[in-house]
A and B are shown apart, each in its own frame.
Chain A
Amino acid sequence: EVQLVESGGGLIQPGGSLRLSCAASGFTVSNNYMSWVRQAPGKGPDWVSVIHSGGSTYYRDSVKGRFTISRDNSRNTVYLQMNSLRAEDTAVYYCARTILGVDGYGFEVWGQGTTVTVSS
């Protein structure tokens, strides 16, 4: 069964750091595009970052220089290192297997999410 399980969220003070993990099962993350998508309370989803199967990484403008996406192939896990956290980073963070194919693009498998709250 294809599954994604996120962990690592919590309450953190502004300026602090967190590392989110996304453990995959049923498929190999290194053969896929993997994204992080967040959703602030009461808002729609926002894409945060993607790591391509070839290793290229991309970020939304508001997190560039603060967030880093990576993966550990031996653990079949994707990470999101978040530094210099701000109140506006407060959200549920989802990991998602991402399709970029000739038939279409989208986030086809989602985890259950992990909650990040940035507050003093």
Chain B
Amino acid sequence: EIVLTQSPGTLSLSPGERATLSCRASQSVSSIYLAWYQQKRGQAPRLLIYGASRRATGIPDRFSGSGSGTDFTLSISGLEAEDFAVYYCQQYGSPQWTFGQGTKVEIK
């Protein structure tokens, strides 16, 4: 089973700053299998990025994904108030799906 490790565990930033979240896989992952989600307290996760770099429907262009192999990154340029949340990466390894442990982006 592929293990996803996210870093940092918590990111303390101010509105307007850039956030860079890392997701490292224990073995190589095909880019089309890598996705990112945002989750706010009491809500279901929301798909942000799939295929490592494709924004899901309705996702603002300040969210971007990149990476390949074992190292993937979610970037948020110019944090807005509604972006403070927990972010998860996820991969598909037929037929199982696994998530990282999450990165919390909090207001500094």
Residues of A within 8 A of B (CB): 35, 37, 44-47, 50, 58, 60, 94, 99-100, 102-108, 110-113
- Shortest CB-to-CB span from B18 to chain A, Å, is 24
Inter-chain pairs besides A44-B88, A47-B96, 6 sampled, C-beta below 8 Å: A37-B97, A100-B92, A102-B32, A104-B34, A107-B35, A108-B57
A45 with B47, Cβ < 8 A, contacts A102-B32, A103-B54, A105-B35 known: no
A44 with B100, Cβ < 8 A, contacts A50-B95, A106-B90 known: yes
Residues of B within 8 A of A (CB): 32-35, 37, 39, 44-47, 50-52, 54, 56-57, 88, 90, 92, 95-102
Report the nearest B residue to A102, measured CB to CB.
Answer: B32
Contact between chains at B32 and A108 (CB < 8 Å)? no
Q: Which residues of B contact A37 (CB under 8 A)?
A: 45, 97
In the bound complex, CA of A78 to CA of B104 (Å): 32
Q: Which secondary structure dominates chain A's binding surface?
A: strand
> What are 23 A-B pairs at a CB distance below 8 A?
A35-B97, A44-B101, A45-B37, A45-B39, A47-B97, A47-B98, A50-B95, A50-B97, A58-B95, A58-B96, A94-B45, A99-B50, A100-B92, A104-B34, A105-B32, A105-B51, A106-B35, A106-B47, A107-B35, A107-B45, A107-B90, A108-B56, A110-B46
Q: Which residues of A contact B99 (CB under 8 A)?
A: 44-47
User: Number of A-B pairs whose CB atoms are under 8 Å?
Assistant: 67
